[in-house]
Amino acid sequence: MKKKAIIYGVSLGPGDPDLITLKGLKILQEADKIYYPGSLFKSGLKSSYSLSILEHYKLDTTKFEGFYLEMDLTRVKVNELYDLTFEKIIEDYNKDLKIAIVSEGDVNTFSSFSYLLEKIKKENFNVKLIPGITSFALAAAENLAPLCLQNEKLIILPRVQTETELEEALTHFNTVVLMKIKTVMNVINNVLSKGNYSIYYSEKLGTTHQFITSNLEEINKRDIPYFSLITIKK
Amino acid sequence: MKKKAIIYGVSLGPGDPDLITLKGLKILQEADKIYYPGSLFKSGLKSSYSLSILEHYKLDTTKFEGFYLEMDLTRVKVNELYDLTFEKIIEDYNKDLKIAIVSEGDVNTFSSFSYLLEKIKKENFNVKLIPGITSFALAAAENLAPLCLQNEKLIILPRVQTETELEEALTHFNTVVLMKIKTVMNVINNVLSKGNYSIYYSEKLGTTHQFITSNLEEINKRDIPYFSLITIKK
């Protein structure tokens, strides 16, 4: 009889290992198994931002199990990997284990954990999610720039596609957070050059490579990494 | 000579004391003084949600200093209280103390800490902010309802004023979080009754009085408290 089988979705926060919650760390310490996501590159190289955070907590590493998603691929391959990972999770669940699946940032905000959550919900498994610090919350903290006050409106826009979309956002909202900006800097530049905004650019937050600036020219000199975002305030 | 004087804005998270970060708790343990906000009612009664969270951490309570904001008041009185509190903070800073000012939820998201931050920045004091879990992140976790996936757009709307505003938000965004809903439930009801949405209502999250539902009729039977929010997904 299964008595303790449970799956936790645990948010690790945006990079600094001390930005996990007490609750999240306690679950990792008590878990029988910890699944973490990573990236598998064409060259065969693997990397995992989650693992680099996990390594700070002095956990029993024999509990660790990585699932490395292939980069530059069709969704088919990613889905196969999720299916395979979920089969392992089902086995663990049926062994009555306490399972943690970790996620960078917040487990519910742009997290690939959500694909596993769909499967977990379909199986009616016992599941609990532990929220986490988002990268845009850390950006606000590092830039000393509040996201919203009183009745201000906040919008989070990943990979903004058109100038019109961004212009409308800036017209109707007090704070606009742009995520996944790497490939759309031309759109962002065109709009920002036309107005007078407060800009906060943040790169690799919570790591030793953290870089922040409010200067648009400086932003444009950067080789913008995936872990970057821009917060714009009127 | 001041060597260690510093002011930390520490996020406590949305209610459950275990949802503070490791970093936040460490700062509270090391601080010489901890300022916390509260409410002062007309009757003379005081209450502080922050204090009720702080009480779980077994801190030296002689470090605590509350600032209780009068309810039902003009901004004049609130501003006087902030000025007074900030004078005390300056004194502490000049005594070379490590000062923590706590905030429910996240220090940069609808937090009254931002008013003190303005003053701190003007004085050029050494300041660091520790981000926290927002109520809407906890709502997503408790409802098992992700806020956004991939390139989905998220909007946070406090005290939505008109049906048009809400309708437009629901047209253009994947997830709409409505905060400070107590006085505007008529607007929300009118819009929600016209469409087919997934609704997640959350009340007093992270406390023993937590209540969540996805049923609009049930929501309308509640005596909606200040600490409540609705997340709507298409």
pLDDT in tens, B137-189: 999 999 999 999 989 999 999 999 999 999 999 999 999 999 999 999 999 99
Give the closest-approach CA distance of A122 to chain B in angstroms.
12
Chain A, chain B: beta-carbon pairs less than 8 Å apart? 158
* Statement: A135-233 belongs to CATH 3.30.950.10: yes
**Residues in A touching B134 (Cβ below 8 Å):** 131, 134, 137
Give the closest-approach CA distance of A211 to chain B in angstroms.
16
**Residues in A touching B26 (Cβ below 8 Å):** 18
Give A30-86 as a DSSP string: H-SEEEEEEEE-TTS-EE-HHHHHHGGG---GGGEEEEEEESS--HHHHHHHHHHHH
Give the closest-approach CA distance of B17 to chain A in angstroms.
9
Taking the Cβ of residue A152 and every Cβ of chain B, the question of whether any pair is shorter than 8 Å is answered with yes
Residue A231, token pair as written in the block: 């917060």
Q: E strands, A60-179, where?
A: 64-70, 98-103, 127-130, 154-158, 175-179
* Statement: A6-130 belongs to CATH 3.40.1010.10: yes
Residue B85, token pair as written in the block: 């509190």
**Residues in B touching A182 (Cβ below 8 Å):** none
Residue showing tokens 């850390």 = A138
Domain locations along chain A: 6-130, 135-233
Taking the Cβ of residue B111 and every Cβ of chain A, the question of whether any pair is shorter than 8 Å is answered with yes
DSSP 8-state code for residue A102: E
Measured between CA atoms, the residue of chain A closest to residue B111 is A149
Give the closest-approach CA distance of A119 to chain B in angstroms.
12
Q: What is the pLDDT of residues A163-217, one digit of tens each?
A: 999 999 999 999 999 999 999 999 999 999 888 899 999 999 988 999 999 999 9
Q: Backbone phi, then psi, for B3, in 5-degree steps?
A: -115, -35
Residues B130-161, buried b or exposed e (16+ Cβ, 10 A)? bbbbbbbbbbbbbbbbbbbbeebbbbbbbebe
Going residue by residue through chain B (234 aa), what tens digit of pLDDT does each one get?
567 999 999 999 999 999 999 999 999 999 999 999 999 988 889 999 999 999 999 999 999 999 999 876 677 888 899 999 999 999 999 999 999 999 999 999 999 899 999 999 999 999 999 999 999 999 999 999 999 998 999 999 999 999 999 999 999 999 999 999 999 999 999 999 888 899 999 999 988 999 999 999 999 999 999 889 999 998
CA terminus-to-terminus distance, chain A: 58
Mutation for testing the B interface, residue in A8, A20, A22 having most B CBs under 10 Å: A22
